[in-house]
Structure formats: C-alpha cells, structure tokens
Amino acid sequence: MVKNETKSTEEVISKLTKAVAHCARSITFDNGKEFTNHTILKKEHDIATYFCDPGAPYQKGSVENSNGIIRYYFPFKVLAHTIKQKDLDYVASFVNHIPRKVLNYLTPCEVYPKDFTMKLCDVALHC
C-alpha cells in the first residue's frame, strides 16, 4: 500500500503503473474518477482494464475482503492524512500473510516470489 495524497488520475495511474506494470495482465477497478486514465495501462503496458458494475463490490471479492481487514486497522473515522507509511506497510504485510482460498489456502507470500510480493503491497493506493 502506498499513501496517496490526491485523487489525481495522473498520480494514481502513475503509482499503479510503477507498482504492477511488470507483473499484471489485468486490473479490475471500481468506478472512481481517479481511474479515468486507465487506458494508459493498456496502451503503454498491455494491461487489460475492467470496471465493476456500480454497486457490485462482490465482483472484486478478494479486494473487498482485504479492504475489510484494512478497515479493522484504519476505520472510516481515521483520517487518511494521519496514517503513516510505516503503518500501511505493517498492515500490507499482515494482509499478505493471510491464506486465500483462490491460492489453495496459501498466502500471497508463500505463492509469489519475494520481489513480487513486495509489489503486492503497493497495489492498494489509499486516496
């Protein structure tokens, strides 16, 4: 997870590109305005982009589950600008050590090489 101070579409896409361009084949977004420039990912990095239907968070079940865990540490009442990067790193490490059904009950840290797993920490951009 990387702390993101703005919802600027340019900044979000830039940080996302740095985090996953080397390993992602596709990304599914929610319908936030910060993903307006998603076509850059396809044009420059051949990453397919998809959007969930409005009001259908179940279409990204693993992400929603991780968000629930993250919200345990950072409830909605916690202001994003007060969260430190070291705290995001701690929670990202915790989340990446939870077994996933989609990974045959292994953790992302067990399945993916260390350098890739570190990049998984960068995927959730906190706006």
Q: What is the pLDDT of residues 46-76, one digit of tens each?
A: 999 988 888 887 787 777 888 888 889 998 8
Distance CA 32, CA 11 (A): 14
Distance CA 84, CA 89 (A): 9
CB 119 within 8 A of CB 19: yes
Distances 46 to 11, 50, 101 between C-alpha atoms, Å? 19, 13, 28
The stretch 108-120 carries a mean pLDDT of 67
Q: Quote the pLDDT of residue 118.
A: 52
Summary count for the chain: helices (H), strands (E): 6, 4
The stretch 93-117 carries a mean pLDDT of 82
CB 126 within 8 A of CB 76: no
Domains of the chain and any CATH numbers = 2-126 (3.30.420)
